[in-house]
Structure 1
Amino acid sequence: MIDALLTALDNPALPFIVAAAVVAGAVRGFAGFGAAMIFMPVASVLIDPRLAAATFLVMDEIVALPLAVRAMRICDWRTVLPAVLAGLVTVPMGAAVLASGDTIALRWGISVLVLALLVLLVSGWRYSGRPNVPLSMGVGMTAGFLSGVSQVAGPPVVAFWMSSPLPAHIIRANLIVYFALASIGAFVAFWWNGFFTGEVIQFLIVLTPIYALALFSGTRAFRLAPETAFRRVAYTLVALAAVGSLPVLDGLLR
Structure 2
Amino acid sequence: MDLFSLITLAIGIFAGFYVQSAMGFAGSLVALPILLLKFQLPEAIAYISLFYVFSSIFLIYREWVFIDKKTILDLSITSIVGVVLGILVLSFSKPIFLKRMLGAFILAYVLYSLLGKRELNLRNAGILGIGILAGFFSGVFSTGGPLYIICVENRVKKINAIRATMIGILGLVTLTRTPTLALSGILNIEQCKYAAIIFPIFLLAQFLGRKTFNISGKSHYKKSILFLLMLSGFSLLLR
Q: TM-score, normalised by structure 2?
A: 0.84
Whether contact under 8 Å (1:76, 1:170) holds in the other structure is yes
Q: 1:3 maps to what in 2? A: none
1:62 aligned onto 2:84? no
Q: Identify the residue that residue 109 of structure 1 maps to in structure 2.
A: 101
Cα shift at 1:120: 2.5
Q: Give me the whole-angstrom Cα distance separating, in 2, the residues matched to 1:57 and 1:105.
A: 22
Corresponding position of 1:205:
196
CA contact (8 A) 2:139 2:177 kept: no
TM-superposed deviation, 1:37: 1.0
Once the 2 structures are TM-superposed, how far is the Cα of residue 173 of structure 1 from its aligned partner?
0.7
Structure 1 186/116 Cα, relative in aligned 2: closer, same or farther at 3 Å?
same
Amino acid in the other structure paired with 2:73: L
Structure 2 residue runs of 5 or longer lacking an equivalent are: none
> In 2 relative to 1, CA 35–117 (structure 1 residues): closer, same or farther, beyond 3 Å?
same
- In structure 1, the partner of 2:234 is 243
What is the letter of the counterpart of residue 212 of structure 2? A
Q: Which piece of structure 1 moves more, 67-76 or 144-153?
A: 144-153
Q: Deviations over 1:135-166 (max 9, x none)?
A: 43342123124445654312221112223461
Q: Shift in Å at residue 206 of structure 1? A: 2.1
2:89 and 2:213 map into 1 onto residues whose CA distance is: 38
Q: 1:93 to 1:18 in 2, by over 3 A?
A: closer
* Distance (whole Å) between structure 2 residues aligned to residue 104 and residue 150 of structure 1: 10
- Aligned with residue 28 of structure 1, among 20, 25, 28: 20
Residue segments in structure 1 that go unaligned for 5+ positions in a row: 1-7
| Matching residue of 1:193 | 184
Q: RMSD of the alignment, in Å?
A: 2.9
Counterparts of 1:64 and 1:93, CA distance in 2: 22
Q: Deviations over 1:156-187 (max 9, x none)?
A: 21112223461111100110000000112211
2:217 maps to 1:226:
yes
Deviations 1:73-122 (A, max 9, x none): 22111111221221112344556778999946544432221111122233
- Which residue does the alignment assign to 1:183? 174
Compared CA separation, residues 56 and 145, structure 1 to 2 (3 A): closer
Residue equivalent to 2:74: 82
Q: Which residue in the other structure is 1:46 paired with?
A: 38
> Hey, what does 2:207 align to over in structure 1?
216
Please show how residues 136-155 of structure 1 align to structure 2 within 5 Å. 136-148=127-139, 150-155=141-146
Scaled by the length of structure 1, the TM-score of the pair is: 0.80
Identity %: 22
1:94–1:66 CA distance, 2 compared to 1 (3 A): closer
CA contact (8 A) 1:94 1:146 kept: yes
Over 3 Å counting, the alpha-carbon distance change for 1:86 and 1:19 in structure 2 is same
Residues 139 and 156 of structure 1 are in contact (CA less than 8 Å); yes or no, is this contact kept in structure 2? Answer: yes
Q: Which has the greater radius of gyration?
A: 1
* 1:26, distance to aligned residue in structure 2 (A): 1.4
Alignment partners' CA distance in 2, 1:195 and 1:100? 11
Shift of 1:61: 1.4
Is the Cα–Cα contact under 8 Å of residues 21 and 206 in structure 2 kept in the other structure? yes
Structure 2 counterpart of 1:161: 152
- Structure 1 pair 212–45 and aligned structure 2 pair: CA distance change class (3 A): same
AA partner of residue 217 (structure 2):
P
Rate the CA distance shift 1:165–1:122 in 2: closer, same or farther, 3 A.
Answer: farther
Distance 2:22 2:160 in 1: 10
